Chains A and B, each alone.
Chain A
Amino acid sequence: MIERREALAKMFSAKGSKVNTNRGEDYYRSLMQTMTKRLEELEKMPAASKTSIQSVLEAEGLNRRDFMKWASATTAMLMLPSQFTPLIAKAAEVMNRVPVIWLELQDCAGNSEAILRSDAPTIDELILEVISLEFNETLMAAAGHQAEEHLEEAMHTFKGKYLCVVEGSIPLAMEGMYGTIGAYGETFKDHLLRVAADSAAVVAVGTCATFGGVPAAAPNPTGAVGVQDVVRGKPIINIPACPANPANITGTILHFVLTGQVPELDHLNRPKFAFGYRIHDNCERRAHFDAGEFVEEWGDAGAQNNFCLYKMGCKGPMTFNNCSIVRYNEAVNWPIGAGHGCIGCSEPQFWDKYAQERPMADTHFKAPTGGVEKTVDEFGLGLLTAAGIGIGIHALSSVTAGKKEENE
């Protein structure tokens, strides 16, 4: 019992479940210098789209105050102190210097749809004004040869400068023939390699593009993999989740604009500002977990009182993402808010490990013993599954634990 309690104590006091939001004056001073320099350089560059954020705001009937509100919220999301707000605003102003080419591979268009539904900046700003969205099959007007020509032209004009955003996995089985595009019947793999080659960085959006996602779920009939398994020699940023939260996509692009570099990443190449958080730590139902109050059956009295969903298979304790803070669709809701457990959709192989409506202990997936959650970086695969057991123990013993404490 003592071991168990020590494990629990460790679990909830572990450094890693916190994100370092105060890195000291020196760090931020030097960061600010880097960013200021970068923005000055960008400003000198010719705009990919000549429209400025000012004209967007005017056209939208938004005032400077609305814009600054957005900028300060975004600064906070990127885990930067408030003195960075003017820089974020500036970054949005020079965003039109960074063209984006958006590729859809083995996808369901869910991430494009998510972007369409994003709130800040609004999609028409995204499309028309702020970013130069050079190629997106879902929305672009040109089709067929014109679409391909347009892609070629964008790649040539912005060689080495554009961000290549990828949605969907890459099928490698059968020499890649499970997915082809264009009149030449180019495979998705060749298509991606061609566009990635001249990009500044590749941003994999959604769990299919990052870790293979649905197509890569067992038995992976098409040999699907993520971008990082195909593209070499380019900075790669992974923004998983199914679909990725648009706030995290925008945040990452902004960060790139600000620094010209990829944001700080964890061991899975995910930006820490978004994936440094564990769902469980910021969950609105966390108090019920601690109190040992669980939903035992869909729609029961526990459900009506918003109790913890761990016993209904919630994988919040194993999942790193900022859903519990940012939420979805203009923060109107999120899965746990709607009474369903987290399915761990920002973690590799989550379809095979996490996407069940039962706790880890009851699934066919065998977890190794020992260990508890550690930092997002140290969070190895084995440890990750073991955490399920740790939490399971807690769920079972949470009521008695309080009593023991009194006795001791």
Chain B
Amino acid sequence: MSKHIIVDPVTRIEGHLRVEAVIDENNMIKDAYASSTMFRGIETILKGRDPRDAGLLAMRICGVCTGTHYQRSIEAVEDAFDVTIPKNARIVRNLIQGALYLHDHVVHFYHLHGLDWVDITAALEADPQKAEEESFNWCKTPYGVSKSELIQIQERLTKFVKQGRLGIFSNAYWGNKSYKLTPEQNLIATAHYLQALDLQRDAAKMMAIFGGKMPHPQSLVVGGVTCVQDIQNPARIAMFKTLLKKFTHFIKTAYMPDLAMAGVKYVDEALDGTGAGLKNYMSYGDFRLDDTGFYNSALLFPAGVVLNGDLSSYIPFDQTKVAEDVTHAWYTGDKPLHPYDGETNPHYTGLEKKEDGYKYLKTGEKYSWIKSPIYDDNRVEVGPLARMVVGVAAGDERITKYVTNFLALLGEKLGLGKPAPTAALFSTVGRTAARAIETELMADVMLEWVDELAANVASGDLSTWTEFDFNKVSKDAKGHGLAEAPRGGLGHWVKIKDGKIENYQAVVPSTWNAAPRDYKDRMGAYEAALIGTKVSNVDQPLEILRTIHSFDPCIACAVHIVDTKGKELAHFKVNTSCSI
């Protein structure tokens, strides 16, 4: 007898997501459905507005990817107007965006995802002395986990656990069998959890130095950036650099070692491919490295597609092959449409109330506010793993180096005598590892960018904006802003007519990942990743959360969600809230 379980709300994500899973007698997930339960209509709201103002409004799609939507919306308009921004503006945008990566990835690992791997209550049983010793197994100079520091952390935790009022820590799946770290390892990770809470404010500050505030920065405009006084003041650039170095130190001596530690403990799940899912990866590409214009310049993260986990076959990306299908989404429409021609006409068909009083997704019909995007008629996954996989397949030297280094480290810690296999990356654990690998890469490259900015300003170049004749260029134009948000490919498509927005569509990371099934009943990335996962305790579906969280869901982003109807195995519904 199979059981049908609902997880709603899925917490520790941004937005409103619902997952329904069908589990067989062996607690194996047979089918899964992800659904977004919130719709705002932002694409509709944007129609008829001045394209120069679109960025500010489009940014409010998500308070977490925040600056990413702002930038992409502005870049879609710049693409339509054929405007190339000055060097200073390019670097400033890269730095704001890069700081967002650092912030997002660290907060995701420790505060949103960490509790799926780390049992905070188990940290209480740890011996601080042993924990300190343990920390040296993973790093030569461990961050903030000396015995005395750990004793203090434990004392704080004890108070909370003992009084039985853990606030937002309460009622989690503590003690679940699928937690594998030792008490000492749990203590180390918990210490870093608390330290990261404090440090993440520095990353936010970095974004605010050039962005004005965070979340929702305000210094980007069509044609460039406005923060002239921040870039011409050496003290501001120095402040940015100082904060960056401090944060980089944490990444290298806390985040990376913790990841290796968890990677070794959970390596079985990586090797057996738990949570692999689609194994189709796509990257829109991002972070321009020169000033040769929009889709000409070299990229830090190459654009491209890898299918079936085949790293030997790199497929270049072509935006005309993107389409959105609404067969299982609460919108009207009869065929997949390219975003330029996309429509957003809500058609809500509701949930189904069953005898147990709960309401279930009507998985045979429409079941989500997220549309189902497809690339060249393939369902694909986006995110840090996709960027690393596409980078390796494309032969990018920098990415390959960071990935290889990590696999070598993991191999060494596991005592394999050789690097861990690349295929280990195709898993829930691998998704989490790829995010960390990328964070270290980003921190290193940002240091180069700050110096590049300082040198350029010192050379006397203060230009931050490229002029354009609005009336002329906005008569009849269309453009797209394609880029990579921390959690995956994010694209805005805009059509402009007589100075106003005629059509606007956003296809964002959680649209790709959290989408329902498509017109061929093929699953979205979340849904596919859940199939075959074993749940040790149905009342505490920790394994489901772990896999969903490994994508860093930002349902806030997922305007259109997916519905699944493929194999008759398991049902998951993921509902997201901060929809477009």
B11 near A219 with CB under 8 A, answer no
A333 to B207 Cα, complex, angstroms:
10
B41 to chain A, nearest CB (A): 3
Chain A proximity of B575: nearest CB distance (Å): 7
- The answer to whether A135 has its CB under 8 Å from any CB of chain B is yes
Contact string against A for B residues 21-65, beta-carbon threshold 8 Å, 1 for contact and 0 otherwise: 000000000000000011111101100001011001100111110
Knowing A55-B159, A108-B63, the reply to whether A178 touches B38 (Cβ < 8 A) is yes
B45–A138 touching, CB < 8 Å: no
B40 partner residues in chain A, CB cutoff 8 A: 106, 171, 178, 214-215, 221-222, 224
Q: Is B295 an interface residue (CB 8 A)?
A: no
Partner of A143, one of B11, B53, B464: B11
Contact A140:B168 (CB < 8 A) given known A113-B64, A356-B50: yes
Q: Which of A16-24, A43-51, A192-200, A366-374 contacts B (4 or more CB under 8 A)?
A: A43-51
A-B contact count (CB 8 A): 311
* Min C-beta distance of A306 to chain B, whole Å: 5
Q: Tell me, yes or no, whether B246 is within 8 Å of chain A by CB.
A: no
- B578-A108 in contact (CB<8A): yes
**Which residues of chain B come closer than 8 Å to A181, judged between CB atoms?**
8-9, 16, 37
Q: Which of B9, B218, B462, B556 contacts A340 (CB 8 A)?
A: B218
Residue A124 lies at the interface, judged by CB distance under 8 Å to chain B = yes
**Given the complex of chains A and B, what is the CA–CA distance between A268 and B413 in angstroms?**
60
Chain B nearest CB: distance from A287 CB in Å?
Answer: 15
* Also in contact, A144 and B6, with CB within 8 A (given A116-B107, A219-B45, A338-B212): yes
Report yes or no: B41 in contact with A328, Cβ–Cβ below 8 A: no
Contact B53 A356 (CB under 8 A): yes
Among the listed B16, B38, B212, B223, which residue makes an inter-chain contact with A335, where contact means beta carbons less than 8 Å apart? B212
A109 close to B52 (CB less than 8 A): no
| CB of A81 within 8 Å of the partner chain | no
Is residue B111 contacting chain A, with contact meaning CB distance below 8 A? Answer: yes
Interface hit among B224-232, B307-315, B516-524: B224-232
Cα-based distance from A304 to B465 in the complex (angstroms): 12
- Given known A109-B62, A122-B198, A338-B217, contact A304–B212 (CB-CB < 8 A): no
Nearest chain-B residue to A108 (Cβ)?
A: B63
Enumerate B197-249 residues with CB–CB distance to A below 8 Å: 197-198, 200-201, 204-205, 207-219, 221, 223-230, 232
Residues of B within 8 A of A183 (CB): 6, 8, 358-359
> Of A107, A213, A222, which is in contact with the most chain B CB atoms at under 10 Å from its CB?
A107
A113 partner residues in chain B, CB cutoff 8 A: 63-64, 66, 215
Q: Give bound CA distance, A374 to B155, whole Å.
A: 54
Stretch from A7-15, A125-133, A225-233, A390-398 at the B interface: A125-133
Q: A177-B348, A355-B53 are in contact. Are A49 and B163 (CB under 8 A)?
A: yes
A146 interface residue (CB < 8 Å to B): yes
Assuming the contacts A109-B556, A222-B40, A298-B226, asked whether A139 and B165 have C-beta atoms less than 8 A apart, the reply is no
Is A172's beta carbon under 8 Å from chain B? no
Q: Is A290 an interface residue (CB 8 A)?
A: no
A-chain residues with CB within 8 Å of residue B359 when the two chains form the complex? 183-185
Are A143 and B7 in contact (CB-based, < 8 A)?
A: yes
> Within 8 Å CB of A2, what residues of B?
none
Given the known interface contacts A113-B215, A182-B9, A221-B346, the answer about A124 and B464 at a Cβ–Cβ threshold of 8 Å is no
Give the residue of A55, A177, A214, A298 whose beta carbon is less than 8 angstroms from that of B350. Answer: A177
Task: Decide: A147 and B9 in contact? CB cutoff 8 A.
Answer: yes
Output the least CB separation between A220 and chain B (Å). Answer: 8
Q: Which of A98-119 contact B (CB under 8 A)?
A: 104-114, 116-119
A333 touches B212 (CB 8 A): yes
- Distance of A276 from chain B, by nearest CB (Å): 21
CB contact under 8 A between A146 and B172, given known A108-B60, A214-B57, A335-B219: yes
**Which residues on A sit within 8 Å (CB–CB) of B207?**
329
With an 8 Å Cβ cutoff, the count of chain A residues facing the other chain is 92
Give the chain B neighbours of A224 by CB distance below 8 A. 40
Q: Which residues of A contact B173 (CB under 8 A)?
A: 141-142, 146
Q: Report which of B60, B165, B167 forms a contact with A214, defined as CB distance below 8 A.
A: B60
Q: Are B41 and A351 in contact (CB under 8 A)?
A: no
Contact call B229/A214, Cβ cutoff below 8 A:
no
* Contact across chains for B218 and A335 when beta carbons are under 8 A apart: yes
C-alpha spacing A118/B61, complex, angstroms: 22
Q: A127-B167, A338-B218 are in contact. Are A179 and B348 (CB under 8 A)?
A: no
Of residues 34 through 73 on chain A, the ones whose CB sits less than 8 Å from some CB of chain B are 48-51, 55, 59
Since A147-B11, A221-B44 are in contact, a sample of 15 more A-B pairs with Cβ atoms closer than 8 Å, ordered by chain A residue number, is A49-B163, A50-B165, A109-B578, A140-B12, A144-B6, A144-B8, A181-B8, A181-B16, A183-B6, A299-B465, A303-B226, A306-B229, A329-B207, A330-B205, A351-B45
6 contacts between A and B (CB under 8 A): A107-B577, A109-B14, A109-B578, A144-B8, A328-B208, A329-B207
Interface residues of A (CB under 8 A from B): 48-51, 55, 59, 104-114, 116-119, 122-124, 127-128, 132-144, 146-147, 149-150, 168, 171, 174, 177-185, 188, 213-215, 217-222, 224, 242-243, 297-299, 303-304, 306, 327-330, 332-340, 343, 351, 355-357
Nearest 5 pairs between A and B by C-beta? A110-B63, A221-B41, A338-B212, A141-B172, A299-B465
